[in-house]
């Protein structure tokens, strides 16, 4: 008999597919409007709110005792992280969604007692569903993905960055980035944390670094990378917070220590 968590995983697969259909219908039939939140780079659209509300209603109707953390705040903040907690980014990469109608994803994760149970990262326009259940492996759609190679050296690595960071840390962090570019093969910027973590998990990138990102951004992608055999932590080698913004480094095990050394070097 399948356990409860795996049944939830299967239900969620159906919900994520349905959410993707809603997004594609919107892009075909409606005009894009957006608002800014904290600054001109922090955008929100009608679909961000619609998709998050869709998941909130599904979860509350099937699992009313579960807690939900969503980017758009469509549910009451959790009182505790000790039980079942969902983390939802309805449109990760909203700027890409607004500007290009591609390179955005739906990101959904379930945690139990702060341990990742499963994660979905759905690249809607590419039709790629990255998903993983703890200790069951990583998949794209229905195809299993082999574990990450650990043979790469840092000098051979393709690394993705997110340049969002606190203003007071910008000068120091930009110096670290300039130093990093001299140590690796190349740098890429995708503008969507969950999508970039998914690319790391399947070996399309060797590492991902961000100086500050929210729990809903990394919650699902972190599970994908870990299921592929990679490491995910903050820049101080601590587990990622599910409550506050945090730095993130995700990569294969062979380059992890070298990357941390570059990031923490004064």
89 is in an annotated binding site: yes
Residue 203, classified by CB atoms within 10 Å of its CB into exposed (0-12), middle (13-18) or buried (19+), is middle
- CA–CA dist 88, 43 (Å, integer): 16
State whether residue 152 is helix, strand or coil.
coil
Q: Classify strands 158-162 and 186-188 as parallel, antiparallel or unpaired.
A: parallel
Q: Are 52 and 58 in contact (CB under 8 A)?
A: no
State whether residue 138 is helix, strand or coil.
strand
- CA–CA dist 257, 266 (Å, integer): 16
Distances (CA, A) of 120 to 12, 181, 207: 8, 31, 19
Helix axes of 46-62 and 4-29: crossing angle, nearest 10 degrees: 150
Question: Who's near 40: CB < 8 A, 6+ residues apart?
Answer: none
Please report the sign of the dihedral spanned by the C-alpha atoms of residue 175, residue 180, residue 185, residue 189: negative
91 is in an annotated binding site: yes
Tokens coding 171? 């000068």
65 is in an annotated binding site: no
Tokens coding 42? 């922090």
Q: Note the helical H segments in 70-132.
A: 94-100
Residue list for the binding site: 71, 89, 91-92, 217
Residue list for the binding site for Mg(2+): 71, 89, 91-92, 217
């Amino acid at each position: 008999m399948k356990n409860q968590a795996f049944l939830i995983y299967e239900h969620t697969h159906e919900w994520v597919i349905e959410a993707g259909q809603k997004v594609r219908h919107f892009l075909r039939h409606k005009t894009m409007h957006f608002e800014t939140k904290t600054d001109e780079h922090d955008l929100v659209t009608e679909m961000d709110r619609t998709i998050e509300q869709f998941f909130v209603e599904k979860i509350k109707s099937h699992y009313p005792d579960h807690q939900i953390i969503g980017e758009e705040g469509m549910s009451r903040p959790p009182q505790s992280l000790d039980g079942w907690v969902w983390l939802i980014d309805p449109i990760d990469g909203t700027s890409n969604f607004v500007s290009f109608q591609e390179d955005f994803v739906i990101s959904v994760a379930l945690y139990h007692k702060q341990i990742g149970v499963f994660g979905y990262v759905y690249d809607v326009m590419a039709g790629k569903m990255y998903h993983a259940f703890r200790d069951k492996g990583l998949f794209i759609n229905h195809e299993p993905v082999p574990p990450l190679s650990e043979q790469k050296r840092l000098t051979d690595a393709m690394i993705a960055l997110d340049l969002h960071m606190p203003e007071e840390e910008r000068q120091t962090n930009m110096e670290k980035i300039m130093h990093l570019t001299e140590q690796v093969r190349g740098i890429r910027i995708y503008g969507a944390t969950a999508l970039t973590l998914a690319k790391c998990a399947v070996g399309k990138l060797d590492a991902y670094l961000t100086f500050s990102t929210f729990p809903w951004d990394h919650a699902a992608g972190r599970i994908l990378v870990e299921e592929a055999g990679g490491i995910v932590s903050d820049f101080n080698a601590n587990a990622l917070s599910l409550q506050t913004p945090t730095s993130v480094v995700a990569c294969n095990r062979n380059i992890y220590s070298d990357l941390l050394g570059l990031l923490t070097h004064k």
